[in-house]
């Protein structure tokens, strides 16, 4: 039996830091409100010459170095992003050009929004398990600052830019134990990329409180479903690696899994919500600081626009 293993992780963050105090000068908000309601203190903002592709390249190089492979060894590149440089060519194809390779499949996953990395992991897992691919580079890369309405205090305080990557490969032992994907388009209006007026730049529109309540309910059920599918118990989980949207949602998920917060990867205080990049960024940080170790069981979860949500349970 073939399992999918994470062979290496990597990440990239732009240099520019935007603090809550700077946001106080831009919109009617306060550092106290943002910290108390979200847990975010600051976020990174891409420079004008940085794109989803340039950030993905940096994160991917780290992940391939950690995995001990080169770009020529890749069978597939999947980039999860809602903020690609272009709709086509895909960010994944732009990466092929940057790496000087041609002999692998390459595509973007644009539409699963914040759940893009989990959706990508589930797709990659199928290709590796059935023997159709050996090495897959999976990246979440986002320039959320390019789709934020900087006059809307209800959303502009939440998001940040960055990229996280993993290299996946085959193994005789788990690996990815199971993934679960969900979507419900009936909630299409509470979180979307829309233009306020005709011809205006599309920006994130969100009924935050509605998303919050749905996320807490959906993710709670998702944990039960994922554990049942994997024939595991809550006490088998060593780490929760959640999508970094709101510290109160994360705390409630940790409680649901009966995990102390020391066993939850947190990056949103310094990075905000980086959409599809948030899970691989958090994973890479925890791996590089030697918090997450080989052999430990991880629960990954995400939710976002669609609504689309999903989980992955894996042995690192
Ligand atoms: O990754 C994509 C998925 N997205 C999410 O996970 C987001 C989930 N939702 C959230 O994280 C939270 O709902 C928010 C952080 C977005 C908002 O927190 P909340 O506790 O749900 O606040 P609220 O929307 O119920 O608003 C409470 C009050 C309102 O004022 P009134 O109507 O009570 O007078 C807002 O206008 O807070 C006001 N408010 C703000 N005040 C200061 C909203 N944004 C701000 C702000 N600064 N930035």
pLDDT band for position 196 (50/70/90)?
confident
Cβ burial of 107 (10 Å; 0-12, 13-18, 19+) is middle
Write out pLDDT tens, residues 18-54: 999 999 999 999 999 999 999 999 999 999 999 999 9
- Confidence check: pLDDT of 272 > 90: yes
CA of 212 to the centre of ligand 1 (A): 9
Q: What is the mean pLDDT of residues 223-230?
A: 97
273 has catalytic annotation = yes
- Confidence check: pLDDT of 197 > 90: no
Q: How far apart are CA 175 and CA 313, in angstroms?
A: 9
Q: What is the mean pLDDT of residues 104-116?
A: 94
Domains with residue ranges and CATH for the chain: 3-171 (3.40.47.10), 176-315 (3.40.47.10)
One DSSP character per residue, 103-166 reads SSEEEEE-SSGGGHHHHHHHHHHHHHHTTS-S-EEEEEEEEGGGS--TT-TTTTTTB-EEEEEE
302 CA: nearest ligand 1 atom: 1
pLDDT band for position 266 (50/70/90)?
very high
Q: Which is more confidently placed, 195 or 203?
A: 203
Residue (of 175, 176, 146) closest to 161 by Cα position: 146
Residues 6+ apart with CB under 8 A from 148: 155, 156, 159, 203, 204
Residue nearest ligand 1's atom 8 by CA: 212
pTM above 0.85, yes or no: yes
pLDDT band for position 192 (50/70/90)?
very high
CA of 209 to the centre of ligand 1 (A): 6
Q: What is the mean pLDDT of residues 203-216?
A: 95
């Amino acid at each position: 039996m073939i399992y999918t293993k994470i062979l290496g992780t990597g990440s990239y963050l732009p240099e520019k830091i935007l603090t809550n105090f700077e946001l106080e000068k831009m919109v009617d908000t306060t550092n106290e409100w943002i910290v108390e309601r979200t847990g975010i203190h600051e976020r990174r903002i891409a420079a004008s010459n940085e794109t989803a592709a340039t950030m993905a390249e940096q994160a991917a190089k780290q992940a391939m170095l950690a995995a001990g492979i080169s770009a020529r060894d890749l069978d597939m590149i999947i980039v999860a992003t809602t903020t690609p440089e272009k709709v086509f060519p895909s960010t994944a194809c732009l990466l092929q050009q940057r790496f000087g390779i041609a002999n692998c499949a390459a595509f973007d996953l644009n539409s699963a929004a914040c759940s893009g990395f989990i959706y990508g992991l589930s797709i990659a897992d199928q290709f590796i398990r059935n023997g159709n691919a050996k090495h897959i580079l999976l990246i979440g890369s986002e320039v959320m600052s390019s789709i934020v309405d900087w006059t809307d205090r209800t959303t502009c305080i939440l998001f940040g830019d960055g990229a996280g990557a993993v290299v996946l490969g085959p193994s005789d032992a788990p690996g990815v134990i199971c993934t679960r994907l969900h979507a419900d388009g009936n909630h299409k209006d509470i979180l979307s990329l829309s233009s306020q007026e005709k011809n205006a730049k599309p920006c994130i529109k969100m009924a935050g409180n509605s998303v919050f309540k749905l996320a807490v309910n959906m993710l709670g059920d998702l944990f039960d479903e994922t554990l049942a599918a994997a024939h595991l118990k809550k006490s088998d989980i060593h780490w929760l690696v959640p999508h970094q949207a709101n510290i109160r949602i994360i705390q409630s998920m940790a409680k649901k899994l009966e995990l102390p917060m020391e066993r939850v990867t947190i990056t949103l205080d310094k990075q905000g919500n980086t959409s599809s990049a948030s899970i691989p960024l958090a994973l890479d940080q925890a791996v590089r600081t030697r918090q997450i170790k080989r052999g430990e069981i991880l629960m990954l979860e995400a939710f976002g626009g669609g609504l689309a949500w999903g989980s992955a349970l894996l042995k690192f």
